[in-house]
Amino acid sequence: MTNRDQVLALFTSGHVVEVTNSEIEELTGISPHQQVFQITQALVAEGLLRGRRHGTEWYFSLASQAGSSSGPVPRQTAPASSPYYPFCIYTIRHTQELTAVYQGGGAGTFTEKKKWKSGLELLLAARQAGQKLLVVFAPAEAVTGLIYYAILKDIQFREDGVAAFTDYNFTELTPILPSPLINSLVLMESGRPLSENFIRPYAICHTPEFLVVDQMIQADLEGLTGEEAPPAPVTGAVSRTTQRLSNYYERKPALRAAAVRIHGTQCMVCGFDYQAAYGEHGAGYIEVHHLVPISQLKEDTLIDPAKDMAVLCANCHRMIHRRSTAVLTLDDLRRMLKKPIPQAR
């Protein structure tokens, strides 16, 4: 029996109702403590356990025994295969500060007047699992939606004799477009969405699936031809502008993620669905198409993912770009389509 199965059996056997990590360690003999912590967090992410925090301790119970009679709250959590840890840190920061860091390359360090003890535990567990821990930001001036996220790299504590502080370092700060409401995040402790009136500057939440889309799309689209990797420009100022725009949009995974959130993962020409055809292996996969090729955009063009982007299967995407001198529209390709692509055999 694996350590994970041993912990789960402790709850399903009925021997315990609600216990802490320390008590699990004592009852099962699993050590070190960090391994117990990682197992319980994984079981919470899978929806098998429910965790709640009281003081400095976490208490865990079987998910089927916890919560109200209305049943568990649906949530979208990063899958186990995700590059991101199943939980993330929510916090607030002034938009002006975040924008300055983003424009400066996306790496920075902020300070909070509170020890992020549970955050440090999550960071250590994420490292051990080979995953990245996300920090998600809402604007401090008006907590209405989620505007940026970043990869948390380090957490350090310090004291000045009066107060305790947390210095946290992050990279790859990325805007979330369009900005989802704060209740898109679900609290790890209660399994409930963040309230629109939630004013605390720190919380541990489930990593939402819409943030994982950025990484999936970025990886899936590597090596594409056509608009995603336009031909080398020819000469002069226009060519430099084209190259700059190509680089700009190539490095904007948030635009791609927004297009997928808006349009979904079913091809907008033929209706092909990768998950329906390939099961879990195809879940979340789709290619993103700019309705106006990047090479034709002007320097000051603003992209609206709802109107300027579409989602296509690989076949339709290649057919649209088959002739570089005559890029087809979605309607052009729909009229050419002779029969639907079979989903599976």
| Complete DSSP assignment for 107-160 | -EEEEESS--HHHHHHHHHHHHHT-BEEEEEEETTS-SB--EEEEEEEEEEEE-
Domain range summary for the chain, segments of one domain joined by +: 3-65, 87-208, 221-336
Per the model's pLDDT, the better-predicted residue between 242 and 5 turns out to be: 5
What is the distance between the alpha carbons of residues 108 and 192, in angstroms, rounded to a whole number? 30
pLDDT at 232: 32
- Give pLDDT, residue 137: 95
CB–CB of 170/135 below 8 Å? Answer: yes
Q: Please give the mean pLDDT across all residues of the chain.
A: 76
Q: Tell me the two tokens of residue 263.
A: 């349009």
Nearest C-alpha neighbor of 52 from the set 245, 142, 187: 187
Q: 85 with 78: CB under 8 angstroms?
A: yes
Two domains, one topology: 3-65 and 87-208:
no
Instruction: Judge whether 225 and 287 are in contact, CB under 8 Å.
Output: no
* CATH number of this structure's domain 87-208, picked from the four choices 3.30.420, 3.30.2000, 2.40.50, 2.30.130: 2.30.130
d(CA 55, CA 93): 25
Q: In this model, does residue 78 exceed pLDDT 60?
A: no
Q: Taking residues 148-157, what's their average pLDDT?
A: 94
Place of tokens 């924008």: 99
Instruction: Please state the rounded mean pLDDT for residues 143-150.
Output: 87
Top CATH class, 3-65? mainly alpha
Say which range, 31-40, 110-119, 212-221, has the weakest mean pLDDT.
212-221
Phi, psi of 247 (to 5 degrees): -60, -40
Question: Residue 92 — pLDDT band, cuts 50, 70, 90?
Answer: very high
E-only strand ranges, the chain: 18-20, 49-54, 57-62, 87-93, 108-112, 133-139, 148-159, 164-175, 186-187, 202-206, 287-290, 309-312
pTM above 0.85, yes or no: no
CA atoms within 13 A on the CB side of 319: 17
User: What local confidence, expressed as pLDDT, does residue 150 receive?
Assistant: 94
